[in-house]
Amino acid sequence: MRPRTIHRMRRNPIAEFLARRAVVILDGALATELERRGADLHDPLWSAKVLLEAPALIRSVHRDYFEAGADVATTATYQASFEGFERRGIDGRRAEALMRLGVTLALEARDAFWSERSHRADRLRPLVAASVGPFGAMLADGAEYRGGYGVSDAVLTAFHRPRMEVLVQSGADLLACETLPSLSEALLIAQLLQQFPRAWAWISFSCRDGEHTCEGQRIGDCVARLNEFPQVVSVGVNCTPPQFMSSLLARMRDHTDKPLLVYPNSGERYEPVAKRWLGHADAAGFASQARHWYEQGARLIGGCCRTTPQDIRSLRQGLLQCA
């Protein structure tokens, strides 16, 4: 009789990190930082387009975030999907290779950073989180900030499962399931995780105000529903204006035992007609707000759209003073 194979779950990377440090510093924006460095992202593939055209630029951005103090790199796979690549004439095998490349670039940047002895002082070895964007991101019409896709769970499963399988096997430490506008999509992803028993993930919602997801569910109810999934290592909010973070944290912290994460955008507002950002980003102000988020219970803190390595540097310096 052939011996039965036992698949043991790997240790929770976020729990291990927080057992030794008071806070996990996430990185900042990838796509808008690539744009700032000259990449043209006017394409449905968004940052995944750079996987095709300038992968070394992605690696460079990851390295700069590590240099700035990030404990986690989030990969350029948010907009990467079999469906999106197929629209560009890229077959499934090539699409899978590009998704793996997104993770490899972050791993290479992490390993190069960590190979320098000076970077190991008062730091833990950084993690790599493979970004899993929502179904709405693939539509490339802003649906991740509305929800209500009008498709069945079968369609969502057919979209999410194949690329989750690729990313789970890519060498990343965990998945970053982010900018989810609805509880239903989050629950579907959490249930799919059970098919990959060695995988871990955080789940993060996009929110329209200080209480509701973009689709309209109460954020406290959302994190409470996810509390029953042990493979979900953290829950929270991203790609949402920073002024909503305090209210959202207040509504989340009593409804879950999981560490809370927040990584808002810079607070600037995107004008879709003119295709430009309006307002002003302030790294020092962003760091000051982050200290308040930590005091309210956030334990994974970083930035999303329009935040930069300088924001993360300021954020780390401020958080280490109060953590």
Give the pLDDT score at 188.
Answer: 98
The three state secondary structure string of the chain is CCCCCCCCCCCCHHHHHHCCCCCEECCCCCHHHHHHCCCCCCCCCCCHHHHHHCHHHHHHHHHHHHHHCCCEEECCCCCCCHHHHHHCCCCHHHHHHHHHHHHHHHHHHHHHHHCCHHHHCCCCCCEEEEEECCHHHHHCCCHHHCCCCCCCHHHHHHHHHHHHHHHHCCCCCEEEEEEECCHHHHHHHHHHHCCCCCCCEEEEECECCCCEECCCCEHHHHHHHHCCCCCEEEEEEECCCHHHHHHHHHHHCCCCCCCEEEECCCCCEEECCCCEEECCCCHHHHHHHHHHHHHCCEEEECCCCCCCHHHHHHHHHHHHHHC
pLDDT tens digits for range 198-227: 999 999 999 999 999 999 999 999 999 999
Mean pLDDT of the chain: 91
Report the CATH fold assignment for 21-322: TIM Barrel (3.20.20)
Over 60: is that where the pLDDT of 283 sits?
no
Q: What percent of the chain has pLDDT over 70?
A: 91
Q: Has this prediction a pTM greater than 0.85? A: yes
Categorize the per-residue pLDDT at 45 as very low, low, confident or very high, splitting at 50, 70 and 90.
confident
Give the pLDDT score at 316.
Answer: 94
Query: How far does Cα 70 stand from its chain's mean position?
Result: 13
Nearest-angstrom CA–CA distance, 80 and 230: 26
pLDDT tens digits for range 14-23: 999 999 999 9
Give the pLDDT score at 269.
Answer: 63
Categorize the per-residue pLDDT at 9 as very low, low, confident or very high, splitting at 50, 70 and 90.
low
pLDDT tens digits for range 62-115: 999 999 999 999 999 999 999 999 999 999 999 999 999 999 999 999 999 999
Nearest-angstrom CA–CA distance, 164 and 167: 5
> What average pLDDT does range 3-30 have in this prediction?
82
Please tell me which residue, 7 or 205, carries the higher pLDDT value.
Answer: 205
